[in-house]
Structure 1
């Protein structure tokens, strides 16, 4: 359990790519509290997500590049126990908020476990795994963060002012998620996992994602304009500019040589650029939407 290889598979830095959802939820939280903010952040980004990474790595047993690890070491039984330890710690931290939040962490974890566990393995079903990942890493996580940050319960899942921005995060993830699979076709097919990207093909994946990116842009624009926040929409477009440019350049290279450019390095840079752009945008949106700096 204490082997360096097990800790590597937790991929804690990879949580940075999931941070935009947390910050976006923070922008709508009515009850800002530094202690709750720290607990929710640590529970999710330092324990829950790494637990999910390690657990899925243990059952996937990847030999080639995975998200956050170009050369993943062989998994051991210690990784399994370490992932469960991180899972238990995340639940303990959640209990410092309320039991509803604990149950949300539990639901997220169970769905994540089902993604790779051989008895269910959602990963082998192209559209089911795509929808599950999009909903739970987007909408469900957003509402869960909102509930934890605000000390609310499951009732927030019925509130339109929470549900709508939560769905926006899922729309964006439904577009970006297949791109994370383009370099794993060989290993996925060898294991019998019919991922969406494998089903669509590499070029098909890029075309599919481009449609969802367009839908996401329209959805975010409609949302911001409905709130009379035109400034936010233009800021969103500015943040997305480097992401779209990188996507188009990558797609151009893909059209020339799929085997050469549908690789780990290109995919990870797509993740880095989009995560950085969204983290900066949502942090700025949080400051502007809450006007929290005016309190000081």
Structure 2
């Protein structure tokens, strides 16, 4: 959702109907289907994806994900053909990420790149182009790249408590490759790059006041992140499900509010 609002806040002329439809396609069809299919393939028994005690998936879950994907793919053509192609590419990559016989998530770097490209850059491209009524405006490539780095700085943190479960499943995540402390350092680096790119974008578009406004929303995230880092440096056990979910909800909430605010400012301006 943060990437959706980020991209929408960059659109100069929003087609409200298409923006709403894109929101529905992403958040009520694509993401639930992707997470459901991943759960069906993983069959996790320990905490995963915001659920501390997940239920075991059934065949009905698999069929539901197929129905959601087919329905969403067909509806995506209402937006545009390029949007539908990108949307279907996302579905395919999501399946390849989880499918047992291919399972891109097994590979630390390959799985990581699959996530940040699709959830970051590709999603940004879909929202910006799909909801934009002015097709002559240049595409904000720097902002799109920043979206990928924002996801890149967030995603490894969600894996930091799953090392043992992932190892049992034959999966090596980017967080496992980096180690617990290395994950925090890496994520901080990705966020610094992301905000560096955002600074370049807003400076180029003469909107540094809005860049400064964004920083205000991220103050709570930084405070909690550094608090958590100090806890992990003292005891690695602090890299657990509880802290991860608290960081998850705080970061998502603040990021959504930040980009929704920018969208409102654009809309009323």
Q: TM-score, normalised by structure 1?
A: 0.86
1:161 partner SS? coil
Q: Which runs of 4+ in 1 moved over 3 A?
A: none
RMSD value, Cα: 1.7
In 2, Cα distance between the equivalents of 1:205 and 1:249? 15
1:285 to 257, 262, 266: 262
Question: Which structure 2 residues correspond to residues 1-12 of structure 1 after superposition, within 5 A?
Answer: none
Distance 1:73 1:230 in 2: 47
**Contact 2:13-2:134 at 8 Å conserved across structures:** no
Are 1:273 and 2:255 an aligned pair? no
Q: What is the alpha-carbon distance in structure 2 between the residues aligned to residue 109 and residue 162 of structure 1?
A: 24
Aligned to 1:72: 54
Q: Is the 8 A contact 1:243 1:274 kept in 2?
A: yes
Deviation digits for residues 61-89 of structure 1, max 9, x if unmatched?
11111112111101111111111111112
Q: Distance in 2 between matches of 1:147 and 1:229?
A: 21
1:242 matched to 2:220? The reply is yes
Match of 1:104 in 2: 86
Q: Which runs of 5+ in 2 are unaligned?
A: none
* Aligned pairs (5 A) from 1:27-176: 27-150=9-132, 161-176=139-154
Residue pair 2:106, 2:171 contacting (<8 A) in 1 also: yes
Aligned equivalent of 1:8 = none
> How many residue pairs end up in the alignment?
269
Q: Residue 33 of structure 2 contacts residue 66 of structure 2 at CA under 8 Å; is this kept in 1?
A: yes
The Cα offsets for residues 101-124 of structure 1, whole Å up to 9 and x where unpaired, read as 222111001001111111211111
Listed as ranges, the gaps of 5+ residues in structure 1 are 1-18
Contact 2:143 2:197 in 1 (8 A): no
Please report how far the alpha carbon of residue 160 of structure 1 lies from its aligned counterpart in structure 2 after TM superposition. Answer: 5.5
